[in-house]
Amino acid sequence: MRALVAVMCRELRLAARARSDWLMPPFFLLVVVTVFGFGAEPNDPRLSAFAPAILWVASLLAALLTLERLFRADYEDGTLEQMMLAPLPLYLSAAGKLIAHWVLTGLPLVLLSAPLGVALGLDGADVRVLVAGLALGTPCISAIGGFVAALTVGLPRAGLLLPVLVLPLIVPVVIFGAGAVRSAQQGLPVDAPLYFLAAILAVCLTLVPWVLSAALRNAVD
């Protein structure tokens, strides 16, 4: 447990010295949603109808901004090799990095989505569903994106390849996340899509650290 905390503390220390890395995703989300607002007519009711898709897609793209760097520096400076030889299993080190990534990237997006949802015309109940969906969905984005980042860490220009590989894998998360908010807007039950999101998260938490560590070993070999 102490070793896992050491991995997460290191990530937070690194983030404290590279503020632009973790300020960029919420700023990106803010800019994209604002631009959508400027592009629509004032008080256009269709904006609130599209709000779930706008917020989910913008959050997804914002989270993607930081994924390429998740393992890149560790791969280049030799830290990854050392992690493989440490007593802490690599899947736990990888899990620690994913948790830190979500705290630094996903959590701010979840928190920012509430005022942005209101700005796009969602009512209080819809915003609660949006936040709940993102709270379940953004860890999935960190996990699935982290796996693809590990697969591509040894490749040149992985930054171009990463979104192309990640986006199709994330589609179910966006469908259920945005679908939950649409259901709330229409007065329908939201339990089913949120349960599906929780199920995807459970699968990610149980499988991704293992397959991710295998991808990292393959990259170093």
Q: Which residues bind another protein (CB under 8 A)?
A: 2-3, 5-7, 9-10, 13-14, 17-18, 73, 76-79, 81-88, 93, 220-221
Q: How far is the CB of 209 from another protein (least distance, A)?
A: 16
- The smaller minimum CB distance to another protein, of residues 80 and 178, is found at 80
Which CB, 5 or 199, lies closer to another protein? Answer: 5
- Residue number with CB closer to another protein (96 or 121): 96
Least distance to another protein, CB of residue 162, Å = 22
The distance of closest approach from Cβ of residue 99 to another protein in the complex, given in angstroms and rounded to an integer, is 15
Among residues 17 and 157, whose Cβ is nearest to another protein? 17
Alpha-carbon distance of 190 to 108, in angstroms, equals: 23
Contact call for residues 176 and 112 (beta carbons, < 8 A): no
DSSP 8-class letter at 170: H
140 with 64: CB under 8 angstroms?
no
In b/e form, how buried is each residue of 188-215, taking b as 16+ CB within 10 angstroms?
A: eebeebbebbeebbeebeeebbeebbbb
CA–CA dist 85, 2 (Å, integer):
17
Q: Give least dist CB 7 to another protein, A.
A: 7
